[in-house]
Amino acid sequence: MPAPAPLETLPNAPGVGYKPQHFSEIMADADPVQWLEIHAENYMGDGGRPLAQLRHLAEEFAVSVHGVGLSIGGEVPLDKDHLARLKHLVSWLNPASFSEHLAWSTHDGHFYNDLLPLPYTKATLTRVCDHIDQLQETIARPMLLENPSSYLAFAESSWSEPEFLAEISQRTGCGLLLDVNNVFVSATNLDFSPQGYIDAFALEKTGEIHLGGHDEDADDHGHPLLIDSHGRAVVDPVWALLDYTLERSGPKPVLIEWDNDVPDWPTLAAEAERAAFALSSLTAKPSRPVIA
């Protein structure tokens, strides 16, 4: 087990997913953004501009490293080379936080560059926990594990997702990353209450919240099918779900993810401003008792 460390090391303030095209504006005036998240795999080259920019950013901002390629939910053993690269990046950067996904992306030596779903069973619970133990030992710190967006379910699943995540956190000591947009997407696609999901989620283990935009489609039966695209602004019902979450969790680091059709900096900063408002409204109000 890694040494116990605080799960909340990022500021309880807005952050954004870092995009290189915003470098100059962020360095000049990032307000209201107080921290940045990077995708680990984009900073695993040997040198050049990406690492030079990251070095500058890390002097000014708390940085969260977000892995998108470890395949923690994979049936196959974790990629030793990739673990070594993560260890190297985390040792070099000493980020405020490291997070990864409850998903898989690698099978039979091939990487599919997407976050693929897994059933929630006794067998997958054991496997995911083993992988998280291995990662946390490698990077010598606890990680945060993020809830996925779901487009379908597995007939074989025997755990609800919040229970599955809470059990993983209990067994491995990892924290959780709650993506509120993913909750909204999954709840819409699979007809459950997003507020009920938040109520069941281990908010006390949650070290970071994500928000992002999604696309709208429909399934074969005309049922809404939302797709987690990170290609547009956060929608109002997701902002409302953030308020609902923060009322129960208290202040948390809140990240805006906008990875495709990346907007100009003022547009992204305006999204961060809205997250800042949600956090400040919270401190202005007397905290509401948690409804069990």
The residue to which tokens 């997958």 are assigned: 124
**Calpha distance 110→162 (Å, rounded):** 29
Least spacing, CB of residue 262 vs other proteins, in Å: 12
**Calpha distance 36→43 (Å, rounded):** 14
Q: In degrees, to the nearest 5, what angle opens at C-alpha 276 toward C-alphas 162 and 199?
A: 20
From residue 55, alpha-carbon distances to 65, 107, 274 in Å are 13, 33, 28
> Which among 36, 60, 30 has a CA at the least distance from the CA of 273?
30
- Minimum CB distance to other proteins smaller for 147 or for 189: 189
Q: Give phi and psi for 189, each to the nearest 5.
A: -70, -35
- Minimum CB distance to other proteins smaller for 59 or for 108: 108
**Calpha distance 37→97 (Å, rounded):** 9
Least spacing, CB of residue 188 vs other proteins, in Å: 10
- Minimum CB distance to other proteins smaller for 27 or for 51: 51
Is there a contact between 64 and 255 (Cβ–Cβ < 8 Å)? yes
- Minimum CB distance to other proteins smaller for 155 or for 284: 155
Q: Which residues lie closer than 8 Å to 75 by C-beta, 6 or more apart?
A: 104, 107, 127
- Minimum CB distance to other proteins smaller for 12 or for 195: 195
- Minimum CB distance to other proteins smaller for 75 or for 264: 75
Least spacing, CB of residue 187 vs other proteins, in Å: 10
Least spacing, CB of residue 285 vs other proteins, in Å: 35
Q: Which residues bind other proteins (CB under 8 A)?
A: 41-42, 44-52, 68-71, 74-76, 79, 81-82, 85, 104-114, 116-117, 119, 151-156, 189-192, 217, 219-221, 223, 225, 227
**Calpha distance 167→287 (Å, rounded):** 27
- Minimum CB distance to other proteins smaller for 122 or for 288: 122
Least spacing, CB of residue 263 vs other proteins, in Å: 17
Least spacing, CB of residue 70 vs other proteins, in Å: 7
Q: Which residues lie closer than 8 Å to 28 by C-beta, 6 or more apart?
A: none
> Residue 114, SS3?
strand
- Minimum CB distance to other proteins smaller for 60 or for 261: 261
Burial bucket for residue 244 (CB in 10 Å: 0-12, 13-18, 19+): middle
Least spacing, CB of residue 83 vs other proteins, in Å: 11
Least spacing, CB of residue 189 vs other proteins, in Å: 7
